[in-house]
Structure 1
């Protein structure tokens, strides 16, 4: 289905006929944003290098990107991000449905706050960042030592609540990319391994899913 560029980037934009929304495969475009987030993560890491020994982790940074986009970075085990060895990542890209449900927004805020606290107990989790590129369009980058860490993430009760109860009420679609950074974060040449596309059906509180393997 795809022709390939260097770093396993898909060239064409293909339709996913099996989905009702989120029909376009945008791995290459998403990867551009995720690379930018990784670069910002590394630059922030370098600015705190001389203070790291005095810090208690996790540490949260908030950056103001262009057009007033807020980029939040949470470091859990930053020392591992310096390693020149392959690191793994998961990138979440989501499109929120328009809503003025203040109760839902408050629940999302509380779940997010509790999740950030629980994540610090997961071995192999290195950093987490989130960027609202434009209203309702969120990008999240999770850095980890290996993709095996995903199983620990999924086992968190708050993650299960967010995935199975909040997501169908909150999002129109989600793309979840899994991949690696060969040579470490400093190389910043991520490769996609697979992508899961989710399209939510709000009438039935259900979803459709399509998976690409690169």
Structure 2
């Protein structure tokens, strides 16, 4: 799936190497991490008791190698056992070297509020976040279809985090869109496109580059 790449070039940049930050294509590497996260979702699912009085979302937390923290939320776990194709969005972010305590607290609050509101989105199945190294977060959102993305974007807290907090807290973000053919059981994620954001004070807060696979 990586043999043929086509790139759409936004006005801000002519090529990915012109980005001030996040100027290397990392689709293959990121996909390895996202596949690992999907595998952990699947393994955790197999340990869940089918209690009828379960409160959703189901919340789990693992400590992986090198004390990496892995949080998982299951909104509709029963729908993750099938073999139909599922959609996913993977967010990879690099924090700025130093952000103040108030901004960190605001980010945490926004994150908690948004995760609660996601419960009301029917096609959202699971959310996973892994701090692979300090300040380097991977987030995986598993959905029934990409139509769910429009519902996610309508959440006020998502808009606040994306447009107000993000440029102040992150150096860069990569957003991958793709599918799981055969569901999590097959665990063979395929990328469809990637958007690279480099936050800067000189070009309207960010530069953008998009790769279509």
TM surpasses 0.5: yes
Counterparts of 1:43-58 in structure 2, within 5 Å, are 43-48=43-48, 50-58=49-57
The secondary structure found in structure 2 opposite 1:20 is coil
Structure 1 match to 2:60 = 61
In 2, Cα distance between equivalents of 1:202 and 1:61: 38
Instruction: Sort the Cα spacing of 1:29 and 1:101 in 2 relative to 1 into closer, same or farther, 3 A.
Output: same
Report the alpha carbon displacement of residue 100 of structure 1 after superposing the two structures with TM.
4.2
Structure 1 match to 2:136 = 137
The secondary structure found in structure 2 opposite 1:22 is coil
The secondary structure found in structure 2 opposite 1:84 is coil
Structure 1 match to 2:127 = 128
The secondary structure found in structure 1 opposite 2:131 is strand
Report the alpha carbon displacement of residue 53 of structure 1 after superposing the two structures with TM.
2.8
Structure 2 match to 1:18 = 18
In 2, Cα distance between equivalents of 1:202 and 1:46: 46
Length-normalised TM-score, structure 2: 0.92
Report the alpha carbon displacement of residue 205 of structure 1 after superposing the two structures with TM.
5.9
In 2, Cα distance between equivalents of 1:27 and 1:113: 28
Residue 169 of structure 1 contacts residue 205 of structure 1 at CA under 8 Å; is this kept in 2?
Answer: no
Residue 128 of structure 2 contacts residue 139 of structure 2 at CA under 8 Å; is this kept in 1?
Answer: yes
In 2, Cα distance between equivalents of 1:42 and 1:202: 41
Residue 56 of structure 2 contacts residue 75 of structure 2 at CA under 8 Å; is this kept in 1?
Answer: yes
Runs of 4+ in 1 over 2 A off after TM superposition: 50-54, 202-205
Structure 2 match to 1:84 = 83
Residue 61 of structure 2 contacts residue 69 of structure 2 at CA under 8 Å; is this kept in 1?
Answer: yes
Length-normalised TM-score, structure 1: 0.91
Instruction: Sort the Cα spacing of 1:52 and 1:146 in 2 relative to 1 into closer, same or farther, 3 A.
Output: farther
Report the alpha carbon displacement of residue 59 of structure 1 after superposing the two structures with TM.
1.1
Report the alpha carbon displacement of residue 111 of structure 1 after superposing the two structures with TM.
0.3
Q: Which has the higher contact order (CA 8 A, sep 6+)?
A: 2
The secondary structure found in structure 1 opposite 2:25 is coil
Structure 2 match to 1:108 = 107
The secondary structure found in structure 2 opposite 1:118 is helix
The count of aligned residue pairs is 203
Report the alpha carbon displacement of residue 18 of structure 1 after superposing the two structures with TM.
2.9
Unaligned runs of 5+ in 2: 6-14
Residue 99 of structure 2 contacts residue 169 of structure 2 at CA under 8 Å; is this kept in 1?
Answer: no
Residue 201 of structure 1 contacts residue 207 of structure 1 at CA under 8 Å; is this kept in 2?
Answer: yes
Report the alpha carbon displacement of residue 190 of structure 1 after superposing the two structures with TM.
0.3
